[in-house]
Amino acid sequence: MEMGTLPCHLLLLFSCSLSFPLLAVSQLNSKQEFIFNGFNHTNQLLLDGASLIKNSGALKLTNRSKYDMGRAFYKDAFQMIDPANRSAVSSFSTNFVFAIKPQIPGQVDAGGYGLAFVVAPTTEFPGAEAEHYLGLFNSSTDKDPSNHMLVIEFDTVNGYGDDVERVGNHVGVNVNGMNSIKTEPAAYFTANNVKEDMTLERGEPIQAWIEYDAKTKLVNVTISPFNITKPLQPLISVNVAPDDVFIESMFVGFSASTGRNIGSLHYVLGWSFAMNGPAPSLNLSQLPLPPPEKAGSSSLRPEIVALIVSLCAIGLCLLGFFICFTVVRRKMRSQQGHFEDWELDCPHRFLYKDLHAATKGFRESEKIGVGGFGSVYRGVLLANQCEVAVKKIARKEDSMQGMREFVAEVESLGRLRHKNLVNLQGWCKHKNDLLLVYDYIPNGSLYSLLFDRGRLGIVLSWDHRFHILKGIAAGLLYLHEEWEQVVIHRDVKSSNVLIDAEMNARLGDFGLARLYDHSQMSHTTKIVGTLGYIAPELARAGKASKCSDVFAYGIILLEVATGRRPLGSGDFILADWVAECHGSGRILDAVDLKLGSVYAVEEVKLVLQLGLLCSHPSAKSRPTMRHVVRYLNRDDPLPALDVLELASGSRQTHSLDAKFLTVFTLDSSSTWSKSNLSSSVGTFSSGSLRR
């Protein structure tokens, strides 16, 4: 302490005020020291930002808001350098008590960012930022030598910048910025010179002393708990070059800030200051405590604990209610036929209301077809204006098991992707209805191109026909052999082949038969198929296989080449007729007359003969789809057809079976029922036959 210099400087000050205009005097503190044992009713402080003086007399610098800042400076400046003699630098000394109240009582690092004692040429800090800038600097003003600031930080968050020890809970001496020239973890030295750690952010009052000795150019910083008298050894003693910091007149005060997480409350409870002498001692018994509910004083701890306990209890109750509610709701949902987790799989599950809107409420005018399993509607999804075809399948029963299998099936079908398949985009369940959403294919079916448009005089060219047949073969090959599991189509027919804008064949309705089994009739073996395309062994034993798909494909080959339906008026059976033509050596007689002579003879012959081979009455004699593709691509030559077998009456009998006699369904009662088929070429499944 430089006791001797004090009278000298007072004298100096007096002489200044005598010889200089009054204005100059008012910039300097007329008194060389002050003391605030609490800040009751004081008008001596310049408050800025969030800072305010509480009724208790405590100076609060920040609340808990994010990025909050508060500053408080003594209203008058002090003369740090004698204007008449620039090497005459003043010493100063300050003593204060502060408290940093964290967000969560007792938990360190739950708040931030800290507070600082500041010696600065100004009380205004435009552009200053919170967090580690503590409301004093921003990234461009930080470290600026023209700042002329001495900042003693009591930082509760990790060290910043070039801080040697990057620890929270530290004390640092900074010059002109937030980089510390010296930092120490918060601690104090006992009388025996033992270093005791301290926690700054505990809400409890902490005493601090800062001295600057102009002679030794040392800044000493000392802290201690409230009930411990000033330690003899300072925590930090560091040399500060006065030229870097001090100018003639400077203000002293505090600044604090919070950060991006919710911050701490920063309080200063008492403060004394003196130029060129020791700061007056604070009377600790007079100091206000930080507001009790925020100070976490020991008497209130049980209340806080009680509060936390009761909040936890309420939280647990709410959680319990929530769980009960969820369980009950789930149960109700599943009873109502709503969805379980396993149902929430891909492909995309559409909302019923979206499909309802897309199809204008499943209006009759939007219906584009009626198939074996339900009606098909054209729709435009409002979300992306995409055209889709929505197939609506009515189910009769609503068993959970059937539903589960159905969804598994939809999921696997949804993963089928091939350019010659109509891709399944998604699905939806509404009450007992199942809705399948497919790509919309604009050109209609192969059936309508061959027969309906044919009637209008629009002829499908041979090149297109051949291209379409190859496409169907590729799609079937994918289903039979190229996907991860074998998919039997079960309903291959020209009306299930859709033609897209590039005249590619897209096979639709694949796997639906299996879906139908799962969703409704898993305990029943039954025939699904379309008259004219049903293989003999399928009609007899009711067992669909790859071979029965090949049979149906053979019928399509014949259909496309001849332009005739599989079953005609009277007893006309296409396959038999073509077989007869072949047998009599005039197979080209069977070619569609509408083609005129505009076709490749070899290709037409190939298609007709392959059609006969595929629709061979004996399943064993039919080629696989892989062979079919090779024949069509002329990779392999077509094997010679056994004319005798093809032309035999047995063939006719089988076909007649399929057309006129019986299609059997084995229902749950295991009795054979005979269905009378009076309609001509039509689409049906045994499901519709049963009615």
Ligand X SMILES: *[C@@H]1O[C@H](CO)[C@@H](O)[C@H](O)[C@H]1NC(C)=O
Distance CA 115, CA 303 (A): 28
Which residue, 332, 226, 328, 325, is CA-closest to 284? 226
Rounded Cα distance between 309 and 315, Å, is: 10
Min separation Cβ 236 and ligand X, Å: 9
Length of the chain: 691
Window contacting ligand X (CB under 6 A); options: 138-146, 445-453, 522-530, 558-566: 138-146
Give Dmax (Cα) for the chain: 140
Residue 365 in contact with ligand X, rule: CB under 6 A: no
Alpha carbon 224 to its chain centroid, in Å, reads 50
The helix or strand, by DSSP H or E, that contains position 200, with its residue range, turns out to be: none
42 binds ligand X (CB under 6 A): no
Q: Is 143 annotated as a binding residue?
A: no
Report if residue 141 touches ligand X, rule: CB under 6 A: yes
Closer to ligand X by Cβ: residue 81 or 407 = 81
The residue with tokens 């009456």 is 649
49's CB contacts (< 8 A; 6+ apart) are 61, 62, 68, 69, 70, 71, 135
Q: Select from 286, 334, 399, 584 the one that contacts ligand X (CB under 6 A).
A: 286
When asked if residue 224 is in the footprint of ligand X (CB under 6 A), the reply is no
Report residue 240 CA to chain centroid gap.
Answer: 53
Per-residue binding string, ligand X, 198-217, x by CB under 6 A, is -------------x-x----
Using CB under 6 A as the binding rule, whether residue 190 contacts ligand X is answered as no
Which range touches ligand X (CB under 6 A), out of 34-42, 343-351, 434-442, 501-509? 34-42
Q: Which of 16, 35, 88, 588 binds ligand X (CB under 6 A)?
A: 88
Shortest reach from residue 247's CB to ligand X, in Å? 16
Number of residues that bind ligand X (CB under 6 A): 33
> Contact at 8 Å (CB) between 182 and 236?
yes
Closest by CA position to 575, among listed 613, 605, 604: 613
Nearer to ligand X, 285 or 401 (CB): 285
Site for ligand X (CB under 6 A): which residue of 19, 30, 43, 87? 87
In whole angstroms, how close is the CB of 114 to ligand X at the nearest point? 16
Is 643 a binder of ligand X (CB under 6 A)?
A: no
Does 335 participate in binding ligand X (rule CB under 6 A)? no
Catalytic residue among 142, 163, 439, 491: 491
- Annotated catalytic residue 576: no
Q: What is the dihedral of CA 78, 79, 80, 85, to 10 degrees?
A: 180
Beta strands, E only, 176-245: 180-185, 187-189, 195-197, 206-213, 218-225, 236-239
Tokens of 318: 């709410």
Which DSSP letter does residue 285 get? G
| DSSP, res 373 | S
Nearer to ligand X among residue 87 and residue 678 (C-beta) = 87
The answer to whether the CB of 113 falls within 8 A of the CB of 132 is yes
Check binding of 43 to ligand X (CB under 6 A): no
- Please report whether residue 15 would count as binding ligand X according to CB under 6 A: no
Check if the beta carbon of residue 603 is closer than 8 Å to that of residue 470. no
The CA radius of gyration of the chain, in Å to the nearest whole number, is: 47
Based on the shown chain and the rule CB under 6 A, indicate whether residue 94 belongs to the binding site for ligand X.
no
Q: Rounded to the nearest whole angstrom, what is the least distance from the CB of residue 57 to ligand X in the complex?
A: 4
Work out whether 193 is an interface residue with ligand X (CB under 6 A): no
Binding site for ligand X (CB under 6 A): 37-38, 40, 49-50, 55-57, 63, 65, 68, 85, 87-88, 126-127, 138-141, 211, 213, 218, 220, 225, 227-228, 233-234, 237, 283, 285-286
Residues taking part in catalysis: 491
Annotated binding residues for ATP, written as ranges, equal 396
